[in-house]
Amino acid sequence: MSASLIIFFVLALLAIFAAVSLILQRHPIHSALSLIVVMVALAGLYLLMGAEFVAAVQIIVYGGAIMVLFVFVIMLLNAEEEERTNFSKMARFAGIPLALAIAGFIAAAIARNAGSLPAAEPSGALTSTKTLSNLLFSDFVYPFELTSFLILVAILGAIVLAQREN
């Protein structure tokens, strides 16, 4: 039982518990906090795999900006706890086993074919930011410029949507 395996299991269990807590919590702010825990746990897993820049970007952008947006919107709209409605309960009895079956099938398929993966274990080597940025600006420069355009469109859209009707 090497140290990385122990750390992996701790972080993986944390991520799964937080994801389950996202489903089970009634108030959206608690779901948002659980999602933040999932993201931090995933950032820890990226660090374990040696992807240090991606881990930092995950926390700064995803956990520090996108989730803050969610938390602000929840506070702004005064979101309440979920109300109990009288719509069908059949969905819960048939649906949960079905959804978990999907995840189970994918997981079983992966586990059965684990041997034919190109390399059985990640090398754990640290990815230097220099390699990442060289790739980003040489091979992937076209998607890079497109995403900057996408962000511009998103900013304009958000401003137009949030304007007051005059």
Instruction: Report the residue from 82, 93, 94, 145 that binds other proteins according to the rule CB under 8 A.
Output: 82
- Rounded to whole angstroms, the Cα distance separating 101 from 91 reads 15
Which position has the token pair 């926390």?
Answer: 59
Residues in 109-148 at the binding interface with other proteins, rule: CB under 8 A: 110-111, 114, 117-127, 129, 131-132, 135-136, 139-140, 143, 147
Alpha carbon of 116 to those of 44, 110, 111, 113, 123: distances in Å?
Answer: 27, 10, 10, 6, 17
Amino acid identity of 15? A
What is the rounded distance in angstroms from the CA atom of residue 96 to the CA atom of residue 18?
Answer: 18
The binder of other proteins chosen from 1, 37, 85, 93 (CB under 8 A): 85
Q: Which of 37, 44, 62, 142 binds other proteins (CB under 8 A)?
A: 62
Residue spans of alpha helices (H) in 49-120: 52-57, 67-76, 90-112
- Binding mask 7-46 toward other proteins (x if CB under 8 A, else -) reads -x---x--xx--xx-xx---xxxxxxx-xx-xx--xx-xx
Is 166 a binder of other proteins (CB under 8 A)?
A: no
Minimum distance from residue 166 beta carbon to other proteins (Å): 15
Smallest distance, other proteins to C-beta of residue 144, A: 8
